[in-house]
Each structure stands twice: as C-alpha cells, then as structure tokens.
Chains A and B, each alone.
Chain A
Amino acid sequence: MSVRVLLPNAFQKHTNGAREIESNAANLPQLITEIETNFPALKTHLRDEQGQVRRFINFYVNEEDIRFLGNDKYAFQDGDEVLVIPSIAGGSSAESGTPSAGSGESRRGVCCCCSYCGQEECICGD
C-alpha cells in the first residue's frame, strides 16, 4: 500500500527541494514520523517546543480535511493523495482543545503574538 504525499514550497528549504514523496504509512502519526526520518532538517521546524506538530500545518486526504475523516485514526487507503498545507487555515490541531485560562502561559502555543507588534510578549501595552 502506498500514498502520494505532496509537500508545500515552504518545506523545500528543509527537504533539499523535494516536493512529493511516496509513503507506506498507515496513518497520520506514522506519516509524520516518516517525513521526519526522511528529512531530519525538517523535524525541528515541524514541531514546536513541546514536541507537538505545529498547529498551522494542515493535512488533507483527497481534498478532505483529515480532521473530518477521524484525524490520527484515519487509515490511509492505497492510492490516497495527502496534501500538506501550512497556514492558509490556522488555529487547529489534533492535540488542541484545552480551554484558555487567559494567562500568558496558557496562551503559549495557541496565539503567541500581538497582531500589532508581532512579539510573543506584547510590547505595545496590550
């Protein structure tokens, strides 16, 4: 069984220019591990300080958001086309969902910057 995985341009700096790979992964966690094994330079960029896949990276299977298909539980089918697309839609991740207590610490990993000054810790008096 194999699936075709299309990588975004933003990854190419860390993948020696590779834009797609064939994978035998059975599901999303296996696929992410495989991508990291193939492209060690990508690993530190793919995950945040807590080791979670960054929330702005989205996975789609044959045009459908993998979150609508069961996310980590979805078993890849032979011939599936998997798209990895960062950022066009942000804000969600497989591991997310903890309500914010509103403190700076709990915000970390959710929305670190101020939209005005761009800093993790706002410097413009917010």
Chain B
Amino acid sequence: MAAGYELRCRECGKRFENAPLSICDECFSPLEVQCDLDAARKTFTREAIAAGPSSMWRYQALLPVPEHYKPTTPAGWTPLIEAPRLAQRIGARNLWIKNDAVCLPTLSFKDRVVAVALANAKVFGFDTVGCSSTGNLANAVAADAARLGLKTYILVPADLEPAKILNTQVYGATLVRIDGNYDHVNRLCSQIADRYNWGFVNVNLRPYYAEGSKTVGFEIAEQLGWRLPDNVVVPMAGGSLITKIRKAFKELIALGLVEDKPVRFFGAQATGCSPISTAVKTGADAIEPQRPATIARSLAIGNPADGVYAARAIRDSGGWAEDVSDVEIVSAIQELAETEGIFTETAGGVTTAVTARLYAHGRIHLDELTVSCITGNGLKTTDVLEGAYEQHAAIRPRLSDFENYLAEASEENELVVERVSSLG
C-alpha cells in the first residue's frame, strides 16, 4: 500500500488505487478507505498524538491524506464533558457529552469530514467542489472551500432552515436550492458528479470524507484517558458516523492504544424519518426508504447510504436504536441547554431525547459510562424554538421598576405552583 491507504470494496473486497471514486466497478457496492495499520503503528502512538496539534489532525497518521499534508483548518478536538445535571434529570449517573456543537469552523461535526474530503479534492486536482446537504455539510464545505480557494456548487433542499442557507452563502458559495427532499438532491448530485469533473464530498469523495468521522471516536477514547466507554449514543442521518466511531475504536484496539472491551452502540433518529431505527427494531436486514417529515432536517435522509452498515454495527454491538417525536426533540434541546449549558440543534435534541429514553427503558444501566454525541449547534435551528419563550414588557431603568418586576414574577410563580399542586 504505497500511500498508507487505499480504497477497497465493502462487499467484494476489490482493491482500488486512490481516486475520486465511491462505487466498485465490479459489484457496484460502496468503497471504503483502508489504512495501512502496520505503517501507522510507528507514528500513531499516545506520545506522538499528545505532541500533535489541538485538532483532529493529531490523528493524521490514520486519516487518508498524503504523509506530509499540511492541514489548513483546525477542526475537531472538541470538549468531552461530564454531564451530571442532565444525568440527574434523566436518571443516569455516568453520562458524558461529546460536544461538536462547538466544532470549528462551522459548529458541527461535518467540519471533520469536510477537512479530509477537501484535502483529497486538492490531491486529485479539482478546482470545483460540491455536496448535497441538509445544511451542516453545506456550511462546512462552503467555509473550507473558501479557505482553500476552491469554487463550490452546493445543493440543498429548498425548505432548509434560513440560518443554514445564510451560513453557506456568506462564504461566497454557489448555493443551488432544489425543489425536493434530501434524497432527491443527493440523487441529482450523483448524476452531476458522473457528468462534471467536480469533487463532490459525499459522492465521489465519499470514502475519504467518511474517514473524517473516525476522529470523533479517537477523541472520545483519548479524552477518557485512553479507554473506551461502555455505550455511545449517536444521531443517524446517512448512518455513517456510528460506523466510523466503531471503526475508530477498533483501530485503537488493533494498535494497542486502548484495552479491548465491548462497546454498545445506540442510534438515534426522529420518528418522522426513522428508516434505520425501524430496521433495528424490526430486525430487518434491509432499509425500507421513507419520505421524511420531521423538524430534525439535518437527520432527514429517507434512504440512508450507510443504513445497513449502521444497523449492523448496532445489532452486533448489542446496542439498540430509538426514535423520538418532534415535541420530544424540542423539549430535549431545552433540557440540555438548561442542565448543561449546551445549545444544540434539532439533531442534538434527537440524541438527547433518545438517550433519556434508553435509560428510562433500562437499555442503558445508570452506572455505565455513556457518551452522547452532540453533533451540531442550536444557533442554526432557532426557528424550532419560535414562540417557546414569552417576552415580558420592557421596564424603565429604575430600581423600583425592577423590584415591581420581581414581585410580579414571584406572584406568577406562586400561581403556577398553586395550579400545579391543585392539579396534583
């Protein structure tokens, strides 16, 4: 393996030289990057990693980029924090949050995958890149392409949240709104990538792109002091992230950086778009496509590319998948913000609500070390909280007015307490 990594068909095993290619020409199945672990063994050590940059690039030896690649974007290395107040609220004792709501530069975990994809776009000599996106990927591609001086065509469903559209256009990207859902957009991108010599991060660069997600798993292990958690709860859209966290853990075990132990993987979806959780719950081998109808638009992929692999990773690990309603998603966004000071987008609401349900149903034991993966920032989906909070009338800048305000607020609280106790 000359470059330290190559492509391999996930089904028939055929090997390919590195190229902007995502489909096997023999069996038309997806390709996957395989890193040369023996070559990485010398450089991928705890000491070398600790001496590396405070970004996902500290794991460069296990990412598919050229040996002397100089990264331009310090994505990743986001906080892993203990969440005792949320834990108390939902009946857990050892709950942690991997907080990619503050991943740089565009506040979602997509910055990780794009960093790897565009590094390869440069290697392959593309001057134009693009993606199909439910929003976060659009933001990440637009920002990183601006930094690398690449032209962009970014295709999104027309009904995307306004903040995600603005956060793409501000970087000078060409945004193409498509009258359809994500699955329509993705299919069109596949045709465009066949026709034009452009690098689409989640089409012809997909095998490289997907490897960037491994860094979530590497970071969780390192931040826990080089050990693996008991459980991981991961939101699922295309289903790639959960399989790549698993792959990261396996690579760390293979290289002797962590002790081997069983880790259970739990997938989270919105009920309005739950093809993977449905497959897990019914024990089905195949993913039945759905027409998405949920406020969690970043997870609204009705025909998930990695759905079968995600379902298998969950089943094989002894985990489970759950899906939650739009009402539960909004409540969970508020709960996470109120207890831990983390404002996540709808996908994070999905993950938090599913985490709570997994404890409630006894699928996760309260003492087990559990990591809930928050993948995006709430500032991008503020529309779902519209009308959630009443604004009182403004008061004059006088202490007496403030005291009146406090007295009124206290009376209101008492009324609420009375109402609640009379109900109870």
Flag whether A50 is at the interface (Cβ < 8 A).
Answer: no
Does the CB pair B30–A91 fall under 8 Å? no
Does the CB pair B191–A90 fall under 8 Å? no
Interface segment, one of B283-291, B382-390, B413-421: B283-291
Flag whether A45 is at the interface (Cβ < 8 A).
Answer: yes
Residues of B close to A48: CB separation below 8 A: 27
Interface segment, one of A8-16, A25-33, A72-80: A8-16
Residues of B close to A68: CB separation below 8 A: 289, 291
Does the CB pair B284–A86 fall under 8 Å? no
Does the CB pair A8–B194 fall under 8 Å? yes
Q: How many A-B contacts at CB < 8 Å in the complex?
A: 150
The complex places the Cα of A110 from the Cα of B353 at a distance, in Å, of: 30
Flag whether A113 is at the interface (Cβ < 8 A).
Answer: yes
With both beta carbons as reference points, the residue of chain B lying nearest to A63 in the complex is identified as B184
Residues of A close to B304: CB separation below 8 A: 89, 91
Residues of A close to B305: CB separation below 8 A: 87-90
Name the residue among B9, B187, B285, B289 with the largest chain A CB count within 10 angstroms: B285
Q: Which of B8, B283, B287 contacts A118 (CB 8 A)?
A: B8
Flag whether B307 is at the interface (Cβ < 8 A).
Answer: yes
Residues of B close to A91: CB separation below 8 A: 279, 286-287, 304, 307-308, 311
Interface segment, one of B18-26, B64-72, B100-108, B115-123: B18-26
Q: How far is the CB of A42 from chain B (nearest CB, A)?
A: 10
> In terms of DSSP, what is the predominant structure of the interface of chain B?
mixed
Does the CB pair A97–B29 fall under 8 Å? no
Residues of B close to A65: CB separation below 8 A: 183, 289, 303
Q: How far is the CB of B211 from chain A (nearest CB, A)?
A: 11
Residues of B close to A35: CB separation below 8 A: none
Q: Which of B29, B203, B291 contacts A54 (CB 8 A)?
A: B29
Flag whether B222 is at the interface (Cβ < 8 A).
Answer: no
Q: Which of A13, A92, A106, A125 contacts B25 (CB 8 A)?
A: A13
> Which residues of A pack against B, CB within 8 Å?
6, 8-11, 13, 45-46, 48, 54-58, 60, 63, 65, 67-68, 83, 85-93, 96-100, 102, 106-107, 110-113, 115-120, 124-126
Excluding A68-B289, A116-B247, A126-B250, 9 further A-B contacts by CB distance (< 8 Å) are A10-B23, A45-B25, A60-B187, A88-B190, A89-B307, A102-B315, A118-B32, A118-B34, A120-B13
